[in-house]
Structure 1
Amino acid sequence: MSAVELAHETLRALLDAGIRDYVLSPGSRNTPLSLELAAAERAGVLRLHVRIDERSASFLALGLAKAGGVPAAVVTTSGTAVANLHPAVVEASTSHTPIVVISANRPLGLLGTGANQTIDQVGMFGSATRAAVHLDDQRPGDWAVLLKEAVTELTSASGGAGPVQIDLGFTAPLVPDAPWRLHELADPQHEGNPREQLPELVDVALPPRTVVVVAECGAALAASSIESATAAGFPVHVEASSALGWANEECLRSGAFLLSSALLSRWRPEHLVIVGRPTLGRAIPALATESDIDVTVVHDQGNLADAFQTGHAARLASAVSFTGPVDPEFAAVWRRADLAAATVIDEESARRFDAGAAAHQVADTYPGLLVVASSNPIRDLDTRAARRARRVLLNRGAAGIDGMVSTAIGAALAHQREHNEPVTALLGDLAFLHDSNGLLIAASEPRPDLSIVVINNDGGAIFASLEQGASAYADDFERVFGTPLGVDIAALCAASGTPHVRCRDRESLRAALAGTTRGIRVIEVQVSRDHERERRADFARRVIAAADATHA
């Protein structure tokens, strides 16, 4: 058999599994796949995206899979090209996003011989992949079994959906002697593999003084938990996550602050429900370990053996219904405190134009999809944005800032196939610079209509609010945490031909967001991080004080 035939049969198996998006980084050893993919796209059976940077390519595949709701694949050559995929594979694993890593390789017998570009790459992602298989082009009898194993584990692994690696050992020749096989790929219109079925609906009766927290989880679980909990009258905090897509105005607006306020002592909940996986602060995990509060954790991806150190496993469900007689006085006190705190939040956003105010303004434009980077952007969304339905996409599985430009582009491409809606990404300057290679897109490649809003405060502002931002560490802070780079973002955008506009105040940002987006554009919002720690601490104190004054 040949390398060309192995590439052909691999692609056929993935098309049979319903995978239509393939991101390719050019190389020599993956030549058989590159030619197959190009021919298959001409035949109209798949969508091909080409990127020169493997890390950007992998995050593009991640964004396509997250927003599209179906697996996507990334294809690389051998050697360090494969290692560049590791951050996206980790995020895909922890966020239960099914992507296929197709890594070209040399025959395994060349390992340790000094052969060029040969490393031990089979299974190099460790436990981050649900399966890692190697197919040798000289052993066709193994192909069907190994491909079936990988495709099955992609969506039906016991730990939940996630990435798989298909490593292909190619021997020369790497090109066909004639294009006689390429036209045979046809679209099988397959629906893909069914996911492992969780219990469809779990009924949970809650005691009268219960607070419900809804965080990162699947659509059905988020929608059912928010709807049933708010309908019953329980205080509900929806953390800034994909769950915001099902939030409503009955949800707490200032939950991120209330969970650190005096309400926890004066009107203490007797029960805490955590739906999904909260990631934005320490208050929720800390509350879950309090000995006098019962905790229920509901999740739809994998069984957490010791959910948030409560000593209990999470209850697995794809949807949940919360019922129970709510203590009306308890609920009313939490509601009054929330309204008072929300007033201060809105006043702050109107009074001072800073990173938080910019995040508030971006969220209130209601894009069809909002992609948000980790660090301060997602925290500002959590503390400033009203709880109204909006589709939000994050890389909070591993909470990294890498790959965000490419993730946003992939998400926008997938979203706009089904919806004629604007897509906006909200990034800090370091997240933007970390994946600026994502803007390097050939003119022949598809581009979405995407506005990338970059909150540029020239450095790592989030560290100012953490322990290392204390005055005791001021002498070293700028160099090892703040890391001001002074990059001219306009010039960087010009280098890739990306339209750029700079905003320095509320009015210019509002005007830029109101503009029509054609292709990818960057909206740079320049704000200062001078006295960042003091400003954020003062803001939190005033919000919490307003809440506490309602029940003093």
Structure 2
Amino acid sequence: MLENEPQNIAFNWSTVFVRSLFEEGLEHVVISPGSRSTALTLAFSAHSGFKKHISIDERSAAFMALGLGKSTGKPAVLVCTSGSALANYFPAVIEASQSGVPIIILSADRPPHYRGIGSSQTIDQLKIFGNYPVFFHEIGEPDFKGRSRKRLELAAAQAVQESVGKAGVAHLNFAFSKPFEPDPKFLRQVEFENEKRSRRPSPKYSQETGSIKMGEIFWSDLISAEKPLIIVGPTSSSDHLDFITPLARVLDAPILAEPGSQIPSSRHTIQGFDGFLKNTDNWPELNADLILRFGQQPVSKALNLFLDKKSEVMQISFMNPAHWIDGSLSSHKQITLNAPLDIPEVTGAADKGWLKKWKKTEKDFKNFREENLHPSTPITDGYVFSKISDTLPKRSFTMLSNSFSVRDMSLFGEFDGKEIYVNRGTAGIDGITSTAMGLSLATDKPGILMTGDIAFLHDSNALLMAKEINQPLVIVILNNGGGTIFRMLPVFRFKSKYMKFFETPQNVKIAALCRAHNIDHTLVSRPEQIVSTLETLVERKGVHVMECITGADESMEQRHTLWNFKTNAN
């Protein structure tokens, strides 16, 4: 039989594994070309049940897989060759592990006898990512004797179920000896067999969960609060937080939901808190007697300081079992949730003016913000965020870069109830554009990426994958000439050192970079261009770059103005 011929063993071994992944319900694979991974690559290419994406840069590939998993809740598969190729996945592995996004890595490797003797493209790949993955397995060389095939199939099921169940990365290492390429007849045979079994099966496992029931003492503490407050940081698909709004209704509590929290809009959600909580003079009117925390550690510096200074207030952190979160070390109780919270028939005792106080503060801050946001030349970062957030199409997603972008959306934008994604596991600027491309592929809807010039340049190899994108994806670059986020830090005082070592001004011609990748580029330098440009680009399929030239000094001055807002919520 063809599958037993020596030339076909590596490909047949890979085919068995790929079919097992398909049986587990996986759909996307991101492949980076390489020789040692030939058998795995051909096995995926021969299976029409997988959507294949090709990226020559493993770092970009990994962040694209992150975006795919962030949206779908199912792991995308990564395939790479041996050596340093695998090491380039590390930043995305850390981000996925810290933010609870499933990914499956299939790394090709040289056989063990090549290790430690200076063989080309050979490194120690065993547990290369340390403790970050939730599952690791050394597959070993192809071997169809005894129970080896059964173990191979089980490894596929383990990888998927551990990655999904524990919301993280699974890494499987495959050792291959030559030949990697099968007999052409066998390749065609496998393709024919795969077509006959290409109907997607139901997953062998279930992600359905029940609900968590808490006791009377717990609910007694909650409903007795006169000034309850709910805080929701960025969340992942493995969180079960659909009960947040019903809980807020029961307690009559304000919800401070950050960009990336995916909390729906309601009368309880409060915007602008990143602005009005920055001024501690506003705190006395907004003093809570119970704080319930969900999701990841908040992005907002003002909100984190608020939590830290309210350490005497009862704070309860509700956490995903795989990811304990309490970066401010201010929680009094920690409760893990692997299912939604069951809310009994209870009624809260909140002060009738409590929610009104927050809504009044929100309204006053928005009025103050509107008075201080006006068209100008140069444009400010805040003005761009204000106009873009007002123009976002209803059926679309938004990806926010780290540094100022995620903070500016909270300070200047209207994001309540909108589909917004962030990479806050490690909060780095690496892989932001690649993540947005993964989201575009997974959501199959128009998308807008808000990013800074440094973050965009840091991930410029993502532009090589633009050809994969079919839906409109508008990359809005806030080009203020460097990393101005550091202006928030005390080091800004050291002007002679600051510009060279921290802000790192750049003069890259982004338009030329886009032309080199055959990507549409539009320059925006006047305030009246913002809305019309976005409305035009978001209707066009494919990747488009909208470069907004903004003033760094003017933008910082505007932020400081809003941070000094004083409420009259009496």
Fold shared by both chains (TM-score > 0.5): yes
Give how far 1:138 is off: 3.9
Gaps of 5+ in 1: none
Matched, 1:67 2:85: no
Provide TM-score, normalisation by structure 2: 0.88
Residue of structure 1 equivalent to 2:460: 436
Equivalent position of 2:271 in the other structure: 253
Code of the residue aligned with 2:351 in structure 1: it is D
Tell me how far 1:279 sits from its aligned partner. 3.1
1:133 counterpart residue number = 137
CA distance in 1, matches of 2:462, 2:326: 38
Q: Residues 286 and 192 (structure 1 numbering): CA distance in 2 closer, same or farther, change over 3 Å?
A: farther
**Structure 1 residue 230: deviation in Å?**
4.7
Instruction: Tell me if 1:217 matches 2:235.
Output: yes
Contact 1:201 1:319 in 2 (8 A): yes
- What is the aligned partner in structure 1 of residue 546 from structure 2? 523
Aligned positions of 1:446-525 closer than 5 A: 447-469=470-492, 471=493, 473-515=494-536, 516-525=539-548
Call closer, same or farther: CA 1:83–1:195 in 2, change over 3 Å. farther
Query: Are 2:542 and 1:538 aligned?
Result: no
Q: 1:267 to 1:176 in 2, by over 3 A?
A: closer
Q: Distance in 2 between matches of 1:519 and 1:124?
A: 36
Uncovered stretches (5+) of structure 2, i.e. residues with no partner: 1-5
Code of the aligned partner of 1:500: H
Q: Tell me the C-alpha RMSD between the 2 structures.
A: 2.5
Contact 1:59 1:88 in 2 (8 A): yes
The amino acid of 1:18's aligned partner reads G
One of 380, 384, 388 as aligned partner of 1:362: 388
Deviations 1:174-216 (A, max 9, x none): 1112332522333252333546776524565341111111122
Q: Where does residue 77 of structure 1 map in the other structure?
A: 81
- Give the counterpart of 1:182 among 174, 180, 190: 190
- Determine the C-alpha separation between the residues in 2 that align with 1:450 and 1:20: 21
After TM superposition, give the deviation of residue 413 of structure 1 in Å.
Answer: 1.3
CA shift, 1:163, in A, is 1.0
Q: State the alpha-carbon separation in 1 of the partners of residues 352 and 373 from structure 2.
A: 31
**1:272 to 2:291 alignment:** yes
Q: Deviations over 1:106-147 (max 9, x none)?
A: 112211022110000121011111111111224444453355
What is the CA–CA distance in structure 1 between the aligned matches of 2:320 and 2:440, rounded to whole Å? 25
Contact 2:430 2:459 in 1 (8 A): yes
| Alpha-carbon contact 1:150-1:164 (below 8 Å) kept | no
Please tell me the residue identity of whatever aligns with 2:128. Answer: M
Give yes or no for contact 1:455–1:525 (8 Å, CA) kept in 2. Answer: yes
- C-alpha displacement of 1:233: 2.5
Letter in 2 for 1:293: V
Displacement, 1:266? 4.2
TM-score by length of 1: 0.90
Q: What residue identity is the alignment partner of 1:339?
A: K
Contact 1:111 1:118 in 2 (8 A): yes
Q: Secondary structure at the match of 2:242?
A: helix
Question: Which segment drifts farther, 61-70 or 485-494?
Answer: 61-70
| Matching of residue 241 in structure 1 with residue 260 in structure 2 | yes
Aligned sequence identity (%): 28
Equivalent residue for 1:411? Answer: 439
Aligned to 1:335: 359
In 2 relative to 1, CA 250–366 (structure 1 residues): closer, same or farther, beyond 3 Å? Answer: farther
Greater Cα shift, 251-260 or 24-33: 251-260
Compared CA separation, residues 288 and 442, structure 1 to 2 (3 A): closer
Question: Equivalences for 1:120-199 in 2 at 5 Å?
Answer: 120-140=124-144, 141-145=147-151, 148-149=154-155, 151-156=157-162, 160-180=166-186, 181-183=189-191, 184-185=193-194, 186-187=197-198, 189-192=200-203, 194=205
| Deviation per residue, 1:476-535 (Å, 9 max, x gap) | 111111111111110000000000001012211111111122211111111011255444
**Which SS does the other structure have where 1:127 is aligned?**
coil
8 Å CA contact 1:257–1:540 kept in 2: the answer is yes
CA contact (8 A) 1:249 1:388 kept: no
